[in-house]
Amino acid sequence: MSSKLWALFLFDDVDAFQRLLETASYNARQGGGGAQRGNNAGGAGAGVAGGGSAGGATVVSAAAAATAVGSSAAAQPGSFGAHAIGSPGSLGTSPTLVAKSRRSGAGGGAHGGGWTVSGGAGASTAAGGLVLTRADVNKRDAVGKTLLHHVASSTSTTAVGFARALVQHPLIDLYVQDYENGWTALHRAFYFGNISIARLILERDRLDVRQGGKQRAGGLIKIKDSDGNGPLDLYDWTLDPLNNDAESSQQYMRSSSPNDDSDEEDPLRGDFNGEHPSKINEVYTFGSNKNITLGFGDEDDRQFPERVNLRRPDHLQQRFHRNSDVPVPEQPTVTRNLPLIVKDVQMSKLHSAILTADARSNLYVCGHGKGGRLGTGSENTRFNFVCVDGGALAEKRVDAVALGQNHTLALSSHSLFSWGSNAHGQLGYTLPETAHRGEDPIQLLPRQVFGPLKKELVVGVAASRIHSVVHTATSLYTFGRNEGQLGIVDSDSRSLEIQVVPRKVAASLFHSPIHSVAAIDRATVCLLQNHDVYVFANFGYAKVNFLTAADSFANYFFGPLAGSIRDVMFSPNHISKITSGGDTICALSSRGHVYAVTVNQRTDSAGDASAASTTNPSKIKGALSYPQSIWTPIKNYMAARDVAVDQDGSIILTTAAGSVWRRVKRAKIKDASASNTAQYKAKNYKFSRVPTLTGIAAVRASGYGAYAAVREDSDIMRAHIQVRPQSIWRDLFPLLPFAGIAPPEERSELSEDDPSGGFAAMAEALYQRIRKSAGGWQEDVKKAVERRLEEDGATYDMTVCTTSSDVRIPINAFMLSGRSRVFRAGLHKVRTEGRPFIILDVLTLELDGGMGRPTLVFQGADFLTVLNFVLYLYSDKVLALWNSAETRLRDSFRQTKGELLKISSKLDMAVLESSVRRFTPERNFSLPNDMEAALNDPTFFEDGDVVLHLADDEVRVHSALLCQRCPFFERLFKGGAGGMWLSGRRGRYLSSAPAEPIAIDMDNFDSETFQFALRHIYADAGETLFDEVVCGDLDELFELILDVIEIANFLMIDRLSEVCQKVIGKFIDIRNVGRCLNAISPYSIDLFKKAGLEYMCHNMEAVLQNGYLVP
């Protein structure tokens, strides 16, 4: 029977393969496990469906079993409804292998690997006598691969069909590992990128668990191969590394298990310091919420991580809009949804704090308000994170924050601020005594700390319950209750109970700048930039060498040279971060190792001279335990990236792969394989992976069971969707009536890299003609204009000339009205009233008596002035011959410069005036901005020669501009027929009157949405196209943008589609990428599709775990 399955797969006959599996009977023990009974597939029901039984075995028809399941067995894509009986791991009892008999003949009964099945007469009647056994479905080849292994490796388009048929079969074994690598079918599916097949396998695994299987939830994805890699580890090996910047160019593999309890000791290396804030934008908290430190608006604990929703206060949100008086609900949607980029997170027992990347008022806190620890000006408890923007921190940006149990320290522009309880003098200043005896003095609002810090540049802070620590680049300051941890080793150190103001300590101890500090009740820890670590405790100090632990520590399971120790043994290793909590100090090395030291309760003996001394550093030796290595990565991707300390010596860390692991005490200490286990305290702990967290860059712990994790999102969607540059100048340059003055060969040579599409060639040709002849160049311009009129005279509907020359230059009226509001008003007056528009001594705008078209006449202006004016209308540039190096040209055309300045001043064309005044050319283009302003003036479209009939309105437009900017209209008006079909409906340039506008039916688009397309066509609007749109939420904005993409796709405007996809890409995350991909992928521009698929590939674990992969 298995040979038939293999043959059908090799011949790629998926239909026959599915029919065979659906109609063949299979063998299961009568009255088997709970999954069978729960679905009426076993027992008597199975016996009736499949016929008789023999020897306690029942031959069950697969089709009958599917029927017995009922509605729950509906075969939907990606579901497991065809068969209810799970894989072997989910059966109450394993299916029975039937007795072997002699090989059947050619026409014999059912074949199952060459053997017949003894199942009674009824067995031969089901499915034409074909009976499947577990051995048939899971038969291995020479290297141990089953049929499902081969299907999972296939790149055929029918592979998913084969996989669905196999996975839905009740006898399939998903846990089979091949002999060669120890890979399951899930390993192979992920390695070969068959995500659809991987989803089918994972869904079947989950279904087995829900139906009472013995396998633990998610057990399949935890299976490791011979090299210790899980399925997702192999998948990540197939991905190209991200090349967004130098730091992220390394490829890090993920840890595979979503909820792994493992003895394996599992960031991007280095502390989480917000160097790339554009990537970090999500905070997840979980654990105990007894002290309201999670920020969710309630007191409920969270077993699984949940995302914290941060929102700016309205008065801060209004700063992002140019008009701060606009209420927040009426602000543009893009402005309202500007993300809060997380820079840092800190937690303590009774409150938590989040720092964002905003320029001002960027500190948010939540927790118990009693004692003023929140700094909001009141003692009210805050369940959600609120902004701290009062007191001395008003309008300031906080660079760092540290939390004690009852007070808070903040660093802003190298100045120190503090607030909260001052019971131990930990605020750095004195407060007046309270009116009620026994109450601690408190500071409700942030207050700056002066004293010895007044002229110092503070760069780092730390806090414990009873003291505070700050440091400059070279000096360490401590203040608070003195219990031997302040670093004061003078003879009077024991007699000092409270140090109220900051005191400089260890001035002669440090021989290198200070990198960072940490604080707990019993100790102050200092990490220097030369990677030395000093601990101040028990009225003394000690230098702790954590790295010696790596030399003496033998890994009981992997050996001293296992895993990443071999890989990085020649790379430098040093301490890169210190952190502390409770009685534990942790150090993170550059190789991703984590070390721990415990600070013991001090015990001063009267008879011990060293203990009684106040200056002998050796007295601290009894206060510190020997450094232990508590996290040794066995793979490079398991190197620790960040670490935080919780209660009872537990820690939480994140790895280079972005997974999060917690070190917790074992419920029952297992019998270790090494000797002298009692002395090896680390064996009392195990590491468990925190589920659903991926891509984590930093972790924090409160010390009392609450945790925070900061997710570093990839910037693929923002960096990989690139919009092509503006092309309006290149598109409109062919409309310039004398653009053909340059020979074709010169235009082709010089215009390849010219963004204006030929201006350089035309300017060079015109300059050479002016330079060689005194007045003959005007005749060349006239001939170029005449050639252009012969080619397409209907394009122009207006004439420009000067009283000093007979040459008349045709132009497009919309270019004149679009560049100047003065001309816009003048043209409207001329058309509606029929009277000329006059600016004394400058110009006259009137209707031509013969053709009824507007004519612009400059009074006494030089012809070069007129030429430059027309050139500026189309290209934003002028031919500045008055700046020529040749004295003859410079003197001859000095008058032209003065005339252009006069004209630009009268017509309110500031950019033209600026261009004329400058000696050197500058890219100061105003064409898009001028057109944007013209679109808001209804008179601009009065001379439109095309009427678009939209669903709810009629819009006049200009065909000449549409043809240059939109391929759809260009083919409509100038396609294969060359526009001859319009010859009878539109007037030629020399006709006596313009024709009626051409009507085009586009009633599948509404006017509001089509306005965005017009803005792009006329003004070449880019990513700012949707900056002023006000919608209810982001989903509504997305719907609008998708409608605009549909118009762009219809009109074949590629850049508009790119702009829309770029705007959507700014708001993409793992929760909405699948939905947006489904909506945008069908369109011709595939930038979003490519970037979205890459984004999903690099976040596949998070997408699969959280169910964000849309079918």
Q: How many percent of the chain have pLDDT more than 70?
A: 76
Q: For 170-201, how does the pLDDT look when each residue is reduced to its tens digit (9 = 90+)?
A: 999 999 999 999 999 999 999 999 999 999 99
Whether residue 75 is predicted with pLDDT greater than 60 in this model: the reply is no
Q: For 243-269, how does the pLDDT look when each residue is reduced to its tens digit (9 = 90+)?
A: 544 333 333 333 333 344 444 333 323
Whether residue 874 is predicted with pLDDT greater than 70 in this model: the reply is yes
pLDDT of residue 774: 62
Under a CB-based contact definition with an 8 Å cutoff, are residues 407 and 426 in contact?
A: yes
pLDDT of residue 1018: 96
pLDDT averaged over the chain? 80
Three-state SS for 290-347 is: CCCCCCCCCCCCEEEEEECCCCCCHHHHHHHCCCCCCCHHHCCHHHHCCCCCEEEEEE
Cα–Cα distances in angstroms (integers) from residue 664 to residues 681, 811, 1075, 1085, in the given order: 12, 79, 38, 51
CA dist 543 and 527 (Å) reads 10
Cα–Cα distances in angstroms (integers) from residue 143 to residues 98, 149, 176, 181, 194, in the given order: 25, 11, 12, 9, 21
Find how far residue 577's CA is from the centre of its chain.
27
Q: Which residues contact 812 (CB under 8 A, 6 or more apart)?
A: 735, 795, 796, 797, 798, 958, 960, 961
pLDDT of residue 849: 67
For tokens 């409270």, name the residue: 498
Six-digit token string for 831? 């058309």
Cα–Cα distances in angstroms (integers) from residue 448 to residues 409, 412, 417, 445, in the given order: 10, 10, 4, 10
Detail the DSSP E strand segments found in 22-70. 25-29, 53-54, 57-61
Whether residue 819 is predicted with pLDDT greater than 90 in this model: the reply is yes
CA dist 1111 and 1108 (Å) reads 9
Per-residue pLDDT band for 41 (boundaries 50, 70, 90) equals very low
Of 124, 125, 119, the C-alpha closest to 53 is 119
Under a CB-based contact definition with an 8 Å cutoff, are residues 711 and 736 in contact?
A: no
DSSP state of 539: T
What count of other Cβ atoms lies within 10 Å of the Cβ of residue 434? 11
Per-residue pLDDT band for 966 (boundaries 50, 70, 90) equals very high
Domain with CATH 3.30.710.10 in the chain: 733-921
CA dist 403 and 565 (Å) reads 36
CA dist 391 and 621 (Å) reads 44
Q: Between vectors from CA 608 to CA 607 and to CA 613, what angle results, nearest 5°?
A: 120
Whether residue 478 is predicted with pLDDT greater than 80 in this model: the reply is yes
Of 766, 1017, 819, the C-alpha closest to 925 is 819
Under a CB-based contact definition with an 8 Å cutoff, are residues 653 and 644 in contact?
A: yes
Of 909, 742, 755, the C-alpha closest to 839 is 909
The three-class DSSP label of residue 948 is strand
CA dist 509 and 522 (Å) reads 20
DSSP 1021-1033: --GGGGTT---SS
Q: Between vectors from CA 295 to CA 290 and to CA 298, what angle results, nearest 5°?
A: 55
Mean pLDDT of the region 872-895: 81
CA dist 49 and 60 (Å) reads 6
CATH fold group of domain 733-921:
Potassium Channel Kv1.1; Chain A (3.30.710)
Per-residue pLDDT band for 883 (boundaries 50, 70, 90) equals confident
Detail the DSSP E strand segments found in 43-107. 53-54, 57-61
Residue 430 buriedness (CB in 10 A; 0-12 / 13-18 / 19+)? exposed
Strand order in the sheet with 407-412: 400-403, 407-412, 415-421, 442-448
pLDDT of residue 994: 54
Q: For 422-449, how does the pLDDT look when each residue is reduced to its tens digit (9 = 90+)?
A: 999 999 999 988 767 678 899 999 999 9
The three-class DSSP label of residue 867 is helix
CA dist 478 and 455 (Å) reads 16
Whether residue 348 is predicted with pLDDT greater than 60 in this model: the reply is yes
Backbone angles phi, psi at 445, to 5 degrees: -120, 155
Of 982, 1012, 1001, 1000, the C-alpha closest to 795 is 982
Q: For 509-529, how does the pLDDT look when each residue is reduced to its tens digit (9 = 90+)?
A: 888 999 999 999 999 999 999
User: Considering all CA atoms of the chain, what is the largest pairwise distance in Å, rounded to the nearest integer?
Assistant: 121
The three-class DSSP label of residue 655 is strand
Q: For 517-576, how does the pLDDT look when each residue is reduced to its tens digit (9 = 90+)?
A: 999 999 999 999 999 999 999 888 999 998 865 444 434 344 433 444 444 445 678 999
At position 368, the amino acid (one-letter code) is H
Provide the pairing of β-strand 57-61 with 25-29. antiparallel
Query: So what's the architecture of 2-233 in CATH?
Result: Alpha Horseshoe (1.25)
Q: For 456-477, how does the pLDDT look when each residue is reduced to its tens digit (9 = 90+)?
A: 999 999 999 999 999 999 999 9
Highest mean pLDDT among 259-263, 376-380, 486-490: 376-380
Six-digit token string for 110? 């059912």
Cα–Cα distances in angstroms (integers) from residue 886 to residues 370, 390, 767, in the given order: 81, 65, 12
pLDDT of residue 554: 39
Mean pLDDT of the region 703-722: 91
Six-digit token string for 825? 């008003």
pLDDT of residue 325: 74
CA dist 409 and 415 (Å) reads 11
What count of other Cβ atoms lies within 10 Å of the Cβ of residue 318? 17
The three-class DSSP label of residue 729 is helix
CA dist 310 and 317 (Å) reads 12
Whether residue 117 is predicted with pLDDT greater than 60 in this model: the reply is no
Whether residue 990 is predicted with pLDDT greater than 50 in this model: the reply is no
Q: Which residues contact 623 (CB under 8 A, 6 or more apart)?
A: 522, 523, 537, 538, 540, 599, 600, 602
Domain 277-606+613-669+679-715 falls under CATH 2.130.10.30: yes
pLDDT of residue 339: 85
CA dist 462 and 479 (Å) reads 11
pLDDT of residue 728: 92
Domain with CATH 1.25.40.20 in the chain: 2-233
Per-residue pLDDT band for 955 (boundaries 50, 70, 90) equals very high
Detail the DSSP E strand segments found in 702-813. 706-712, 798-802, 809-811
pLDDT of residue 758: 66
Under a CB-based contact definition with an 8 Å cutoff, are residues 6 and 154 in contact?
A: no
Mean pLDDT of the region 1063-1086: 92
Domain with CATH 2.130.10.30 in the chain: 277-606+613-669+679-715
The three-class DSSP label of residue 574 is coil
Per-residue pLDDT band for 59 (boundaries 50, 70, 90) equals very low
Per-residue pLDDT band for 995 (boundaries 50, 70, 90) equals low
Three-state SS for 270-286 is: CCCCCCCHHHEEEEEEE
> Could you tell me the pTM of the whole model?
0.82
Q: Which residues contact 1023 (CB under 8 A, 6 or more apart)?
A: 723, 1059, 1062, 1063
For tokens 């790149």, name the residue: 155
Six-digit token string for 295? 């920020």
To 10 degrees, the CA torsion angle through 981, 987, 989, 990?
A: 120
To 10 degrees, the CA torsion angle through 918, 919, 922, 924?
A: 20
Bigger pLDDT: 471 or 995?
471
Cα–Cα distances in angstroms (integers) from residue 584 to residues 535, 599, 626, 667, in the given order: 12, 6, 12, 21
Under a CB-based contact definition with an 8 Å cutoff, are residues 546 and 561 in contact?
A: no
Query: What sections of 834-986 are H helices per DSSP?
Result: 863-875, 887-892, 894-906, 910-917, 927-935, 959-965, 967-974
Q: What is the CA radius of gyration of the chain?
A: 39
- Beta-ladder partners of 306: 285
CA dist 367 and 346 (Å) reads 12
pLDDT of residue 779: 87
